[in-house]
Structure 1
């Protein structure tokens, strides 16, 4: 596996522009940021960040492109997305390796993330023929009422490092078929994945003689504030921490824009005494250590029935003893690195805080610093027995720290599950139908995602993805999430030769 050759095939050079409208890559006055791989600490390549002039150039091209793109029939827009999906299929192996190498997730997860991009393109192609409105009966004779949906304009997409390509595609594929154009500000921790994606879509747009501003890229931390405060951008989709999400939400709302917020998660699995324990172990371990605990849907808490608590804890400890930590490009390894040393510091601080509050660690954590872990980003997945009210348990730590909590009754378990500020993903492991139905009922999980006999981690693109409370309330990907990218318009047509007023009002002249 030659990383240099892969980068070349994806259009990645030693130094790259981070500003693009389609295939037009702009040299800017911005500084260069170097992307380092958490796998080995090596510099991969550098990317030039956007300056003020570059930002304005991108926005001008996006505005021009929208005027054209909104008039293209939705199925024709779907055809462009279909071709993008095919281009991703051709580049799946290379892009998957880059995702793994730049972000640090396992190669299987990197390839799976690119497959999510392909899947959402397929979904969006079908959606392009299903942007349905409604017809309503008017109370006035010889009148017809209906509603239709129109594109909003420029959609700003601010994505996070942990899914450096998939979350962008969830937003972009839907936004495009809805008639919007997109401006993408990726994480500055994984800019090369974004540059590669822009090269792929730019070729599709060029081959179809489409305006370059349909897809734009802007790298740089300062870009986020510009997008949030730009009245030319009616919709901002932000994926990241709850802390930053509050800032984004306030800025966008102040100018009466809309936002889709996908923020923190503090996800729990309830392990019932009626659970299939072997299946539950698989779901719990992958949920907790997959992507080194850096998914917004990662399992943070296990709420375990007291009758099986010790048995399940022992199985879990045994399973953790079999985990292999190392290079994520080696498919024999289960756990790769954290994204950077700042994330490692947050991990160690969380462990220290947990111990101070009374957490009892049954699997100890720690930073791996031998010659095999030269990047300084590899840590040990750990397990602690805690109480749900501990301050550290109420927070989201983006690292493989798993908390164990004991319960007696299902009502108590659900209360514990719901007893955190976040509300993204949740699950119950049970073969008891009544328990499963109660968990999914109005008195059950308060999360946007609630699963039975699968874990919290991961989601299919066919369902709307998002959560409640401090997770932000946004929805992306499947179901009717497309409505978030459009504006609704109610229409009334009078085909009579009189003008009757609503509610029978008389206004004679």
Structure 2
């Protein structure tokens, strides 16, 4: 283990989370861990050091998982929802107890700052709190029947086995958004975490498995599989998994959607974003700079809600541009475990190549680099994953601007006249996740939020695009996939909806007044 890891207490964190520094089994139905696939090595983008190894899932391993999950679902669904909520409360207690070691592992394995690692675990805690309350509110509506002596209502039943595919950038939070709700709804879950952050997946499964076991519950309610896209395809093509929740790239989402639709299953897709902040003449420039800079460079630009585009009115364009460029000069890049640094590394060298390609392409298409990018070398940057956040003046129609670059590249562009012109630019991409407007003009703010405004699933006023609370439904439109996770009524997709009509008379009147006499 590297000196950085030792100094940060990663060895103790691994021990606290039940992980081996040698080989961990990446397939589990609960307390039973097994794997017969290839060994995946997890290297930290912080310093390039090997953290640990995880064995991947084979087809035979997966078959054991799905059959165990199906069996467990039949028992779990019969437990009253408030009792399921109590189990989730206990799981949440364990998350609170292990917040520090899990936050450290998230930070070291993924490369985000330690504060962001702790924040991600806090999201897990928050969604579990939400799920516990939800356990007494899984209610449907009651409707008035047109027929005398009849009662109509709807109810929600557990759906079945839910497959969850999550990405490296939020290696634990997105799983919890899905699994906390699915569990309280009475579903069993199979999770395929990212092969780039396999140790955090095993750590979470260790916590969940222990809680379910201590409550005398069967194997299979919380399951884990590990590997690349081929392992994910085992779930997406499996008719025994009625719902697939997938978070990741648009390319991945299209493949998942087609596979699940082919078997008429349900999919919940939370895919890429190409998020913009509109800055009007009435904006608070100081707050704009804070929101835009954090949105663009936080997590090294690897959030699906990261700010990719800054659309600024011509009257304040130079002022905003100069302020943003000055702010970038203050950014400290380095070890994310050091709380003095703002920006850590990209996840791996493939991400670095994509970042470099984006900068080359924006110049080829006519863009003007305002803040130079580049790969950092030398002491502290040995992993080869540290890059400089860059800013380029660009046009919205550039091909590279139309595509999401998963890294710290911010495109700044100008709009003229009415805010409607800015909205046309903002909405003029294929993605529709997060959006924001900076303005103190009530009419502009309300226009932005109206039916003629932002076409994104998230629309913010006077805050940035990045970061969301668990109480609201999270997701977006267009190529972002249309799915919703986390709060509000997102729980409904994890259940099957049933309409009930009860006749408590001695007659049998038909709907719509139809007569059918025998």
TM-score by structure 2 length?
0.97
**2:399 is matched with which residue?**
391
**1:372 is matched with which residue?**
380
RMSD value, Cα: 0.6
1:6 aligns with 2:6: no
Q: Deviations over 1:23-69 (max 9, x none)?
A: 1111x321100000000000100000011111011011100100000
1:187 aligns with 2:176: no
**1:346 is matched with which residue?**
354
Q: Deviations over 1:74-95 (max 9, x none)?
A: 0001111111111000000000
Q: Which of 427, 432, 440 is the matching residue for 1:423?
A: 432
**2:31 is matched with which residue?**
23
**CA-CA distance at 1:428 after TM superposition:** 0.3
Q: Which of 443, 446, 461 is the matching residue for 2:452?
A: 443
Distance (whole Å) between structure 2 residues aligned to residue 194 and residue 176 of structure 1: 17
Alignment of 1:213-224 (within 5 A): 213-221=220-228, 222-224=230-232
1:256 aligns with 2:230: no
**CA-CA distance at 1:223 after TM superposition:** 1.4
**CA-CA distance at 1:138 after TM superposition:** 1.1
**1:489 is matched with which residue?**
498
Instruction: Tell me whether 2-11 or 291-300 shows the greater mean CA deviation.
Output: 2-11
Distance (whole Å) between structure 2 residues aligned to residue 405 and residue 482 of structure 1: 39
Q: Deviations over 1:339-377 (max 9, x none)?
A: 000000000011101110011001000000112200000
Alignment of 1:15-54 (within 5 A): 15-26=23-34, 28-54=35-61
**CA-CA distance at 1:506 after TM superposition:** 1.8
Q: Which of 357, 366, 371 is the matching residue for 1:363?
A: 371
Q: Deviations over 1:82-126 (max 9, x none)?
A: 111110000000000000000000000000000000000000000
Distance (whole Å) between structure 2 residues aligned to residue 392 and residue 468 of structure 1: 20
1:155 aligns with 2:162: yes
Native 8 Å contact 2:272 2:304 kept in 1: yes
Q: Secondary structure at the match of 1:63?
A: helix
Distance (whole Å) between structure 2 residues aligned to residue 372 and residue 468 of structure 1: 40
Distance (whole Å) between structure 1 residues aligned to residue 165 and residue 84 of structure 2: 23
Distance (whole Å) between structure 2 residues aligned to residue 371 and residue 135 of structure 1: 66
**2:464 is matched with which residue?**
455
Q: Deviations over 1:270-323 (max 9, x none)?
A: 011101100110000000000000000000000001111111111111100000
**2:5 is matched with which residue?**
none
Distance (whole Å) between structure 2 residues aligned to residue 194 and residue 291 of structure 1: 19
Distance (whole Å) between structure 1 residues aligned to residue 422 and residue 310 of structure 2: 10
**1:273 is matched with which residue?**
281
Q: Which of 340, 344, 347 is the matching residue for 1:336?
A: 344
Q: Deviations over 1:251-274 (max 9, x none)?
A: 001101000000010000001110
Q: Deviations over 1:373-396 (max 9, x none)?
A: 000000000000000000000000
Q: Deviations over 1:436-469 (max 9, x none)?
A: 0000000000000000000000100000000000
Native 8 Å contact 2:59 2:234 kept in 1: no
Distance (whole Å) between structure 1 residues aligned to residue 102 and residue 159 of structure 2: 30
1:70 aligns with 2:77: yes
1:381 aligns with 2:389: yes
Distance (whole Å) between structure 1 residues aligned to residue 296 and residue 441 of structure 2: 24
Structure 1: gaps of 5 or more residues? none
**CA-CA distance at 1:211 after TM superposition:** 1.1
**1:317 is matched with which residue?**
325
Q: Which of 61, 70, 90 is the matching residue for 2:97?
A: 90
Structure 1 residue ranges (4+ consecutive) displaced by more than 3 angstroms after TM superposition: none
Structure 2: gaps of 5 or more residues? 1-7
Distance (whole Å) between structure 1 residues aligned to residue 133 and residue 509 of structure 2: 41
Distance (whole Å) between structure 2 residues aligned to residue 202 and residue 30 of structure 1: 21
